[in-house]
């Protein structure tokens, strides 16, 4: 009897691990679906009614992608069409097997002022707000789980939803005169794109509560002091700071894509799964690179030096 119970527990554990790891790593899976009252196609039809701007993606031979929020006449605010395009670019990045890193930036030397107020006014009911919340949480969670090392390059201002987007990146870099500010309280709402949850993970609950409840203006010095950003760049020039960000990122993406991507996946597992499940997922990821070309080449180089 005890043996049967142990086998049942083992089977249940294996089954639950399978479900969780699929949720974390299977391409195309989202947090919300019809069982949550979320109907993606209906949301898309609503968002299509609010044009303006674009989300541009450039993929470099170096394995670095550059994702640009491009709506400069409105400080790169997200129109409905841009929200849809962001999901399209995330889906494209999910299948970019040669990719290793990604820089997110705004056009014309500012990051993003959040949501376009025209769309916000039109989507005025609590149901509309929760639906948009689920859409963006789906998109940014898939973005966060990309097997790419991601960096937000904050120039000018990152306000509201723009500030939230920065928290979905692995790292944040700021130019000297830039600013991050969660202005949601002043709009009579709270963060809804996952920003509050991720902010707690980045700077801790006490600091996050101060930043959110005070709608604090985080200049580059203060953001660095509280651990919100990883480095303040030297230049504020649009071209030069992008070059600086690329050089900064390159130190973390040296090596073959399959190794960098497996490393990112293992860290994502450690962050999102319970301890034992994360360990087992680490084991599975190791199986994708152990004995692979990069591993064999490294061993051959080492043997050559050891002779």
User: What does the pLDDT look like over 179-231, one tens digit per residue?
Assistant: 999 999 999 999 999 999 999 999 999 999 999 999 999 999 999 999 999 99
User: What confidence score (pLDDT) does residue 22 get?
Assistant: 54
- 70 & 7 share domain: no
How much is the CA Rg of the chain, to the nearest whole Å?
21
Range of the structural domain that residue 277 is part of: 258-306
- Final residue before a domain boundary, out of 254, 275, 292: 254
Provide the domain count of the chain: 3
What pLDDT, on the 0 to 100 scale, is given for residue 5? 47
**What pLDDT score was predicted for residue 39?**
83
Residue 127 confidence (pLDDT):
92
189 and 277 in a common domain? no
**101 phi/psi in degrees, rounded to 5:** -145, 165
Q: Distance between CA atoms of 30 and 8, rounded to whole angstroms?
A: 29
> What was the pLDDT predicted at 82?
97
Residue numbers of the chain with a pLDDT score lower than 70: 1-28, 304-307
Q: Does one domain contain both 53 and 123?
A: yes
Residues 24, 36 within the same domain: no
CATH of the domain at 96: 3.90.226.10
The DSSP-derived string for 139-166 is HHHHHHTSSSEEEEEE-SEEETHHHHHH
Do 226 and 301 lie in one domain? The reply is: no
Q: Are 180 and 154 in contact (CB under 8 A)?
A: yes
pLDDT attached to residue 307:
57
Do 177 and 263 reside in the same domain of the chain? no
pLDDT of residue 8: 44
Strand boundaries in 40-170, DSSP class E: 54-59, 64-70, 101-106, 149-154, 157-159
Based on the fold, state whether residues 143 and 111 are members of the same structural domain. yes
The pTM of this model reads 0.90
Mean pLDDT for the chain? 91
């Amino acid at each position: 009897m005890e043996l049967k119970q142990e086998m049942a527990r083992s089977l249940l554990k294996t089954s639950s691990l399978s479900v969780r790891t699929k949720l974390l790593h299977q391409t195309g899976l989202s947090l919300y679906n019809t069982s949550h009252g979320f109907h993606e196609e209906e949301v898309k039809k609503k968002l299509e009614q609010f044009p303006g701007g674009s989300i541009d993606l450039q993929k470099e031979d170096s394995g670095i992608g550059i994702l640009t929020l491009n709506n400069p006449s409105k400080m790169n605010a997200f129109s409905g069409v841009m929200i849809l395009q962001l999901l399209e670019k995330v889906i494209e990045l999910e299948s970019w097997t040669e990719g290793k890193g990604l820089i997110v930036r705004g056009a014309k030397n500012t990051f993003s002022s959040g949501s376009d107020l025209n769309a916000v006014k039109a989507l005025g009911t609590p149901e509309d707000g929760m639906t948009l919340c689920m859409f963006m949480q789906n998109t940014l969670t898939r973005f966060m789980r990309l097997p790419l090392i991601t960096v937000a390059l904050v120039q000018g201002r990152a306000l509201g939803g723009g500030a939230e987007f920065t928290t979905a990146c692995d790292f944040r870099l700021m130019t000297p005169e830039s600013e991050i500010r969660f202005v949601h309280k002043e709009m009579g709402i709270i963060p809804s794109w996952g920003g509050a949850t991720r902010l707690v993970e980045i700077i801790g609950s006490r600091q996050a509560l101060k930043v959110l409840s005070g709608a604090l203006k985080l200049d580059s010095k203060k953001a660095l002091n509280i651990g919100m950003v990883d480095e303040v760049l030297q230049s504020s020039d649009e071209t030069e700071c992008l070059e600086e960000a690329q050089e900064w990122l390159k130190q973390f993406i040296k090596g073959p894509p399959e190794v960098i991507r497996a490393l990112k996946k293992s860290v994502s597992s450690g962050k999102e799964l319970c301890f034992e499940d994360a360990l087992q997922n680490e084991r599975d990821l190791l199986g994708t690179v152990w004995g692979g070309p990069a591993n064999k080449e490294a061993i051959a180089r080492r043997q050559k030096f050891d002779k």
